[in-house]
Structures are given as C-alpha cells and as structure tokens.
C-alpha cells in the first residue's frame, strides 16, 4: 500500500531529544542496517519484517552494549526511537517513524474507522456531555441520547475529576466486541448502560448534495481505504437526482492512500490515459493508467483546492488539470509530490519511508523544495501569508518548471503544488483577540451545543439544512446566552465590530446545522456564502 498523505502533526516530536553525539552514532549504524535491508529486500518473503536478517543490525549491537555496559540505567527503547528520528531528520520531511504506542491511532484515518462506542462529546464544567451519537452505532443501540452526561466509566469516576480528552478516549475506546459500563446522568437521575464496542466509521465523503437542480457537490476530507467506495455511492446518488455538473471539494484534504485517488481520477478520464507515474532511485517507474469506463467522464467538473490540499488530493487535481478535464478553483495546494511506503518493524512500530516521487500526466513533480531544512519547510505556508500570495493572484504562481496541459496546451507549473486555474483569495478579515479566543478555546462550540439542547423542539420546525439556511436567524436571546457563556471564560464580547458580529451569526447557523444534520448540514449552510464555492458555481455556469 502506497501512501500519499501530508504528515502535518508528527507524532515523533513528542519524544525527548538526546545529546548530539548519541543520535548521530545511532543514525550511522541504522543507515548501515537500512542499506543492508534494501539490498536484501527483494530476496525476503513479503510476510517477513523489513529488517529481518540472520544477524543483529549494527544499531542493535549498540543497544545491547548500552543495556549491558552503560554506567547508568537507561530506557533503551526511548534511545532507539530517538536514534531513528535523528536519522530520518536528514531525509525528506515526510519519511517518519511511528512508535508502537501511536500506531493504532495513526492508522485510523487510513482504515476509515476506529473501535469504540460511537459518540461525540464536549467537556463542559468538568463534565462529559454527549453531543452526537453515530447512527446505528453501539451507543445508539444501547439507548444513549444527546445531552446525556457521563459520570462513570466502569469503575472510574469521570465527572468532577478534571478529566482530559486523552483519558476519556482511552476509557471509551477498545477492541470490537469488548464491553464497557457507562453511568450517565439524565433528567436528574443516574442510569447505567452496558455497551458492546464496535467498528465506528470515519467517513471520507462527509457531504454530498445538490446545490441546485443540476449541480452536485461532494466534499472529501481524506483518502482512506473506503474513500473510493464512499465517493462512488455519493456520485451515484447525485446522478439519480439529476446531477449534470459536479463540484468536488478537496480543500483541507491532506491525502492518504494513493490508489483511492487514482480510482476516482479514473471515473473522470476516458481511456486510455495516464493518471500519474511514480519513480525513485531504488524504485522503477510505475505507470497508473485508466482501466475502465468512468461514471463521470463527461459533464462540467470543478475541483476545489487550497493550501492544505496535499499529496493524494494533488494527484487527483493534477490529473484533471493536465488532461483539461475540469477546472481547478481556489488557492495553490500544499506541494507534496512524494510517496511513502509503510514498513512494519519488529518492535511493533512502523517506518513510513519515502520511496518515490510521483509525476502528473504532463510530467510535473509538484513537490516543493525541502533542501533548506525542516523548519523552513514547515514555515512555508506561513510565508505564503506574509508574501501576499494568499490574497494576490499574480504572486500565487510557484517559481518552478513550466509545462503544458496535454489537450489545450495551457501553461501549468511544477515544483510547488497545483496552481489553480481560477484563483480565489483568502479572506483576510481578522478577529480581535477576544473573538479569536471564543473559537480557539471551544467556548463557541459549547455555546452551540447548549443552545441546541435548550431549543431542540423549536429547531425541529426546519425540515432540512437548506430550509434552516434560508430562514433561521439568531435572536437577541442567542446573543445574550453567548455573552454569558463567554464571560465565564473571561471573554468579553462587548465591543464587536459589525463584521465580527456578522461572522459570528453566520457561524452560529453553520455550527447549529452541523449539530443537527452532521457535516452535510455544515456544508449546505456554509456553502451559501463561501466565496470559493460561489466562484465554482460561476465557473460552471460559463461552461
């Protein structure tokens, strides 16, 4: 399985740094071990571990000597993990080591599911409030309801104990089929439920609806093993509703599994066409081509991208753009043109090693430079803000190689992301410090949840998210409730500008729609005023 995902939050940063000489020593020995492993890889059965050889690798010898001879007691596992990370720091920014303790969580987005009881929650006033329940999941089957407050999990009291998100997640999640006892507080009475944990889906296609009589909208938040299947199900649903034009939203999609992006591209491109190819110093060129008639090979198509669209998202956008199949709208994408391959290690961890670069059909590699170190690489997105690229179209073009699209011979660029065909600037309207805290500290999300519970019956009169978007307007009561809740967190809303107040009102509607209709409701309401979506609709109308 090849991965094409943007590793934004690197788990490995949680480990403590060592003195300079020790990581370098381990790095040298580990590199020797890897070189041996690469030479032997083709001779090793696929069921074996990547580093499995008849002899100890050099790094293991060093570990054994430290464990047996070193003057003080040390945690050799920690030393080994730090040594691996020190070595990888000399490679590209996306090769990474995942320690065993974090591997299950790291793989959840790729698998498209996790094991647990199937609830969303907020911690309000040191109490866990259940805000949403996954339809058909273990908690719904057991009778858990929105608004329930968890006071006990098995024998652990969780109310009033300053519990944090990580601890409650450890208590609620567990292997499929395992049981957990939950005591909740409802209508001033405690109730106990025994819940059998199950598989909880993490949907990639979290919104798919008709914007108008002929225009469909699909949002993909990642590329997991279920993304292509979810996309096809959503696409078929929209076509049954009369869809002739499609907006595919890849904004914020950091990538994931390459094959799912390739399969979706195959639905847009007729045969025979190259979708991309991959190649590396130790990996022969591999071509990915269309294989079958696609479900949407004809009809106006727009793809939305932004600075957080990465890797597998860029594979899909690059193929559509190079073949002039559709229009890319938004801002320049992240710029990750590297492919990782996962290798399971004997210690239970995993090495995701960059093994090749990918190239679009026109021959573009869109990987942005990383030869100035990881700090510079990580700051590149912020530099786009400072240099004006996010708001000025004439500064949004990367200074990379120039290519031509394959049909219309339009100019496109490599070396730094996918440059959109239609640029939409970033909204530079900034909030005051107080309003920023309202969202950053989750005060606003807690307000929306409590408002929903207090007005649940009233909100039932809105039959759809579209109806809600057109007719709901927050009243003075909502503003008073928000001010009171904000003041408890020492946030003052007494001096809002008109623009800030309008933005907060808009977010009230968007967040409430999410609370009632999940992520699809969120996008139905948000897209009514989203400048990128509005530009996409305008672009489709011209085709």
Q: Return the domain boundaries, the chain.
A: 3-99, 113-201, 205-340+353-428, 433-535
Strands 119-124 and 127-133: antiparallel
Mind telling me the catalytic residues? 311, 336, 340
Locate 91 and state its tokens.
């490679």
CATH number of 113-201: 2.30.42.10
CATH number of 205-340+353-428: 3.90.226.10
Class of residue 135 by CB neighbours under 10 A (exposed 0-12, middle 13-18, buried 19+): exposed
Q: What is the pLDDT of residue 227?
A: 98
Q: How many residues does the chain have?
A: 543
Rounded CA separation 522/515 (Å) = 8
Rounded CA separation 345/108 (Å) = 18
User: Which residues pair with residue 153 across a beta bridge?
Assistant: 156, 182
Helix axes 76-88, 58-69, angle to 10 degrees: 140
Please list the ranges in the chain whose pLDDT falls under 50: 7-54
Name the 3-class secondary structure at 434: helix
- Tens of pLDDT along 354-394? 999 999 999 999 999 999 999 999 999 999 988 888 888 76
Query: Would residue 326 be called left, alpha or beta, if left means φ above 0 and alpha means ψ between -120 and 50 degrees?
Result: beta
Rounded CA separation 206/378 (Å) = 28
Locate 57 and state its tokens.
């690798």
Q: Which of 193, 311, 188 is nearest to 250 (CA)?
A: 311
Rounded CA separation 69/87 (Å) = 24
SS3 of 79-105: HHHHHHHHHHCCCCCCCEEECHHHHHH
Class of residue 306 by CB neighbours under 10 A (exposed 0-12, middle 13-18, buried 19+): buried
Q: What is the pLDDT of residue 399?
A: 66
Please compute Rg for the chain using Cα positions.
25
CA terminus-to-terminus distance, the chain: 38
Rounded CA separation 139/297 (Å) = 41
Helices first, then strands: H and E counts in the chain: 18, 23
Max CA separation in the chain (angstroms)? 75
DSSP H or E stretch at residue 468 = helix 465-471
Quickly list DSSP for 150-170: EEEETTEE-TTS---HHHHHH
* Contact (Cβ atoms closer than 8 angstroms) between residue 2 and residue 258: yes
DSSP H or E stretch at residue 481 = helix 476-488
Rounded CA separation 27/402 (Å) = 38
């Amino acid at each position: 399985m090849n991965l094409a995902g943007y590793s934004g939050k690197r788990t490995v940063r949680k480990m403590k740094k060592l003195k300079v000489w020790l990581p370098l020593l381990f790095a040298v020995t580990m590199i020797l071990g890897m070189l041996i492993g690469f030479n032997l890889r083709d001779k090793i059965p696929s069921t074996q571990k990547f580093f499995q050889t008849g002899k100890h690798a050099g790094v293991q010898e060093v570990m054994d000597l430290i464990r047996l001879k070193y003057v003080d007691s040390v945690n050799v596992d920690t030393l080994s993990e730090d040594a691996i990370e020190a070595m990888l720091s000399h490679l590209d920014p996306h090769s990474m080591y995942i320690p065993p303790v974090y591997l299950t969580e790291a793989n959840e987005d790729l698998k498209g599911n996790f094991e647990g009881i199937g609830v969303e929650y907020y911690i309000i006033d040191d109490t866990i409030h259940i805000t949403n329940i996954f339809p058909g999941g273990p908690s719904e089957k057991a009778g858990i309801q929105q608004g329930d407050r968890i006071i006990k999990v098995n024998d652990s009291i969780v109310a009033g104990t300053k519990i944090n998100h990580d601890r409650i997640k450890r208590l609620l999640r567990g292997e499929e089929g395992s049981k957990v006892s939950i005591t909740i507080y409802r209508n001033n009475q405690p109730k106990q439920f025994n819940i059998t944990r199950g598989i909880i889906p993490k949907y990639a296609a979290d919104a798919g609806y008709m914007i108008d009589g002929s225009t469909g909208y699909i949002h993909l938040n990642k590329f997991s093993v279920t993304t292509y299947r979810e996309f096809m199900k959503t696409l078929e649903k929209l076509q049954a509703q009369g869809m002739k034009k499609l907006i595919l939203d890849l904004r914020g999609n950091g990538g994931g599994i390459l094959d799912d992006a390739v399969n979706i591209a195959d639905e847009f491109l007729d045969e025979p066409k190259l979708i991309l190819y991959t190649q590396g110093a130790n990996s022969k060129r591999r071509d990915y081509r269309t294989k079958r008639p696609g479900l949407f090979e004809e009809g106006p198509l727009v793809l939305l991208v932004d600075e957080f669209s990465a890797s597998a998202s860029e594979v899909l956008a690059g193929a559509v753009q190079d073949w002039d199949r559709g229009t890319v709208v938004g801002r320049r994408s992240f710029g990750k043109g590297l492919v990782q391959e996962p290798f399971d290690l004997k210690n239970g961890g995993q090495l995701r090693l960059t093994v090749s670069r990918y190239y679009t059909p026109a021959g573009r590699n869109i990987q942005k430079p990383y030869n100035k170190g990881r700090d510079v690489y990580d700051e590149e997105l912020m530099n786009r803000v400072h240099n004006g690229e996010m708001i000025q179209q004439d500064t949004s073009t990367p200074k990379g190689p120039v290519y031509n699209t394959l049909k219309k011979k339009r100019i496109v660029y490599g070396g730094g992301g996918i440059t959109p065909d239609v640029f939409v600037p970033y909204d530079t309207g900034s909030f005051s410090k107080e309003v920023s805290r309202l969202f950053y500290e989750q005060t606003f999300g807690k307000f929306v949840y409590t408002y929903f519970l207090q007005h649940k019956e009233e909100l039932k009169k809105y039959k759809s998210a579209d109806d809600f978007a057109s007719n709901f307007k927050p009243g003075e009561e909502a503003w008073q409730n928000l001010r009171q809740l904000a003041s408890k967190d020492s946030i003052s809303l007494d001096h809002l500008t008109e623009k800030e107040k309008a933005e907060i009102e808009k977010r009230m509607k968007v967040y409430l729609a999410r609370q009632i209709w999940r992520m699809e409701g969120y996008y139905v309401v948000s897209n009514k005023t989203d400048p990128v979506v509005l530009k996409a609709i305008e672009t489709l109308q011209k085709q």
